Structure 1
């Protein structure tokens, strides 16, 4: 599968292995110019903020806020999600990924780096390296589903120890996600990620319902039936592909709430939170 994103922490000496505590710290992901996937680099950096609970259960989730790949909803789909996860003993890692502006590989590279970083720091942060997941909302759900379908096992001889570990998430939780770049996509997300006139090959590559394999991790999906900006067909197509490959998965079809599930509150919002935690506990 094609590699995507990863996240790094602030280094004092060796990259990604500083001794400072990580709780609620905003840390740059890349130590040096960030790659763009085409042999070039970007002076801008991506960031992660690590929110650790008082008592961790060993699970961590990289959180990808939405925003149509043109912005980032860091509150309701980022730091507030981390605070909720902390209440259940889960470490929340909020990812401020770089916005692509047509550079399609950029968000995925950041997401993959984030997963690798959390896994590489598992001992320091009292985490189980086999319980590192990813979560995303709307376009952030597209990014999370991309990371769950495009990954690698790491590069064993990489100079940076972070790059030696796998960027495959152990599970994914997707909430009203953009999934496809095809018929039912969100056009703004597609344009911001792929540019004005993407090739059919690029559309195929980032239509994640078409990238599911037998190695795809378990996936929980929640989507409202009345979501107009991002039709539930996105989630249904992905769920069908997951089932075809016998991937443990669940699709929670919510009767109402629209896109954003009534502004991140109410019974539909509560339902996906409760059921995703139950599903995760069963894993």
Structure 2
């Protein structure tokens, strides 16, 4: 009986992507306080297992590659703009990215709490910090990408399409089952946490990112499942349509099942396929 239990436990451990044992370099985004407040400044950060909410001190957790190839990816975990799922949409990716020679960073960003400029400020600052410290980590400052899952995908695509100054522009974007639109196909919870319960038509238009794509939008790699019941796949379709119209290179991968929120879990039936495609795509865009 004891042997069977041991084998079963081992198999269960092998069936789930392990969290990296690597220790990150943690950098606070704002040394003198963030420019825009979200109302969580005096609250204590809350951890519920792998989820963190009410972030008041945003940080960039950098996991350097031992043999850097020059690329860096900054990942924004999802969580409906309410919390951050830092494990399956963050830490599980560390070893895989580092093995490719990619310096990987998890962005512990502030949720908007109805202040949509807050996460955008954190994203711009994270890109700026990574560029300033590029040589320290063996990174090419022109090969820094942004990645995001679900609402984190909206975060990433916001940075890709509303980056403002060139120094804040990511060089590529990786989106997993992203929220894109704030229209009737949106994820309601994400929209409410981003824009408030009664957003104006102007705010809905502004943060529907299919409307923000232009010739300066970086190349995209996008993964999702067609049976996603949480975020309508039309979010991605609308975004890709605008990428196509603006002649922005993209690699789109839609699988028949997998649902929502699979991240880098082994339970996703297409993990090997999409991660293999991502590896090839990242190689193809190296400078």
TM-score (norm 2): 0.83
Following TM superposition, by how much is the alpha carbon of 1:280 offset from its aligned partner in structure 2, in angstroms?
1.9
Following TM superposition, by how much is the alpha carbon of 1:152 offset from its aligned partner in structure 2, in angstroms?
2.5
SS in 2 for 1:81: helix
Contact 2:25 2:63 (C-alpha < 8 Å) held by counterparts: yes
Aligned length: 250
The aligned residue for residue 91 of structure 1 is 103
Following TM superposition, by how much is the alpha carbon of 1:177 offset from its aligned partner in structure 2, in angstroms?
0.5
User: Distance between the aligned counterparts of 1:35 and 1:78, measured in 2?
Assistant: 26
Coordinate RMSD, CA, aligned: 2.0
Between structure 1 and structure 2, the one with the greater Rg is 2
Does 111-120 or 255-264 show the bigger shift? Answer: 255-264
Following TM superposition, by how much is the alpha carbon of 1:270 offset from its aligned partner in structure 2, in angstroms?
2.4
User: Distance between the aligned counterparts of 2:80 and 2:263, measured in 1?
Assistant: 18
User: Distance between the aligned counterparts of 1:37 and 1:129, measured in 2?
Assistant: 29
The aligned residue for residue 257 of structure 1 is 258
The aligned residue for residue 4 of structure 1 is none
Q: Deviations over 1:150-186 (max 9, x none)?
A: 11336xxxxxxxxxxx010000000001011112110
The aligned residue for residue 28 of structure 1 is 28
SS in 2 for 1:124: helix
User: Distance between the aligned counterparts of 2:117 and 2:263, measured in 1?
Assistant: 32
Following TM superposition, by how much is the alpha carbon of 1:264 offset from its aligned partner in structure 2, in angstroms?
2.1
User: Distance between the aligned counterparts of 1:282 and 1:51, measured in 2?
Assistant: 22
The aligned residue for residue 186 of structure 1 is 187
Pair 82,41 (structure 1): closer, same or farther in 2 beyond 3 Å? same
User: Distance between the aligned counterparts of 2:138 and 2:68, measured in 1?
Assistant: 7
Contact 1:112 1:151 (C-alpha < 8 Å) held by counterparts: yes
The aligned residue for residue 65 of structure 1 is 77
Pair 33,262 (structure 1): closer, same or farther in 2 beyond 3 Å? closer
Once the two structures are superposed, the pairs formed by residues 10-159 of structure 1 within 5 Å of their partners are 24-36=24-36, 42=41, 44-153=56-165
Pair 259,199 (structure 1): closer, same or farther in 2 beyond 3 Å? same
Following TM superposition, by how much is the alpha carbon of 1:276 offset from its aligned partner in structure 2, in angstroms?
1.5
User: Distance between the aligned counterparts of 2:214 and 2:41, measured in 1?
Assistant: 31
